[in-house]
Amino acid sequence: VRITKEKASENKQRILEAAARLFRERGFDGIGVADLMREAGFSHGGFYNHFSSKEELIAAASALAFEELDADTQGRGIEAILGRYMSQDHRDDLPRSCPAAALGGDAGRQSDQTQTVFKEGVLSWLSRIEGALEQNSSLSERARRDTAINLFAKAVGAVVISRSVSSDSQLSDEILQVCLAGSLNEAGIRPDE
Amino acid sequence: VRITKEKASENKQRILEAAARLFRERGFDGIGVADLMREAGFSHGGFYNHFSSKEELIAAASALAFEELDADTQGRGIEAILGRYMSQDHRDDLPRSCPAAALGGDAGRQSDQTQTVFKEGVLSWLSRIEGALEQNSSLSERARRDTAINLFAKAVGAVVISRSVSSDSQLSDEILQVCLAGSLNEAGIRPDE
DNA sequence: TGTACATCAGTGAACGCGCGTTCACTGATGTAC
DNA sequence: TGTACATCAGTGAACGCGCGTTCACTGATGTAC
């Protein structure tokens, strides 16, 4: 049942979007090709018309996930970026989570292609944070980069450990709040300014 | 071939130690029961004489991994703790890594038993860091706890993202160095003091 | 523009493989007398 | 203390299952004339 070229390309996008969501939710090994295709609305056999392997899909879906975040963050101030990252919303919304927090620990065990995607995702985050810092402070370029790295590391770590203690919701919330406050301070933002 | 009770208990420990090492190295889904038993020096059939399921092993091995770190960290100063955590050594030694950094992202997808182990591992880290801060500063109890949470989150995040960009060793090293410097500053330690 | 044929996205059965788990079996250890 | 028997840690074959991947097939789309 051959279909239109545009339709086929839309379908590939549907698969990619389902994969980007499901990998973050269940982990790279937590969802199989057949289940994934079913969630995207297809039978599993057609998968290899679009991708040469699950490995390739993992790289492409990770790239898409980073791009979505890129778009959501573009042009926002440092306060908004950090507030969103260390929010209960972000912690609880795994399908839309930052891949660095949801899958960063597994990234090193994936293909070179996927590792490159994660590296570029991290670099992209760092330059967006650096850009957001430019608006609020008069730091040197070096200090701005150092601050961006510190802020991003703390944000990722806060979400990772906040999620890994989620059975204790009070502790989980406390971690996010305390790290957000510490981060805003570290970014040179005074409360009530 | 029945064996001595003590020998049996030693063997269980061998399995646990192999598991603690291999799960951190390859991920919970990256190593199977059969391979794991072979690495521990046994055939796979005996596994269920010691554990009722792989799930149970995951919880027990994670607990052992946290305990090892606990022992390594006990009584050390904040500078030593942070310096070790954000070292190239820790980043590159996955089999002995802190589970929060190596497996924290997957912890939320494991059994309740395992989630409890991770929660207690994090709590244990926080109280050790709080304890180490007591030696160096005169902060209030509340401020000490907040600082401990901030420091631990940054340390975990630094290691996670440092590992996920390991194809760019310069960037990977930079992240560790910059976060360590930022952390020591945050902990109230002046360089050359 | 109309016709004839090649292309290929999608389907669903089938492949081999490794997974977690179970089982019958072995024989030294632990226990009851 | 010595003998008879039950226990159980370890072995390796076997189980069913889901995995990633391949394949023959379908039929509308795209293309050549």
pLDDT digits (tens, 9 = 90+) for B148-182: 999 999 999 999 999 999 999 999 999 999 999 99
112-151 of A, contacting B, C-beta below 8 A: 112, 115-116, 118-119, 122-123, 145-147, 149-150
Place of tokens 């305990």: B67
CB spacing of A119 vs B26 below 8 angstroms: no
Distance CA B73, CA B77 (A): 9
Contacts of B91 in chain A (CB under 8 A): none
**In degrees, to the nearest 5, what angle opens at C-alpha A93 toward C-alphas B63 and A44?**
90
DSSP string, A102-135: HHHHHHTTS-HHHHHHHHHHHHHHHHHHHHHHHH
pLDDT-derived band at B193 (thresholds 50, 70, 90) equals: very low
Distance CA B121, CA B187 (A): 21
CB spacing of A112 vs B186 below 8 angstroms: no
Of B123, B102, B13, the residue nearest B61 (C-alpha): B13
Specify the pTM.
Answer: 0.96
For residue A21, pLDDT over 90 is answered with yes
CB spacing of A160 vs B156 below 8 angstroms: yes
DSSP string, A56-77: HHHHHHHHHHHHHHHHHHTT--
Distance CA A132, CA A138 (A): 12
Lowest mean pLDDT among A101-105, A137-141, A179-183, B12-16: A137-141
> Is the minimum distance from the CB of A1 to strand C below 7 Å?
yes
31-50 of A, contacting B, C-beta below 8 A: none
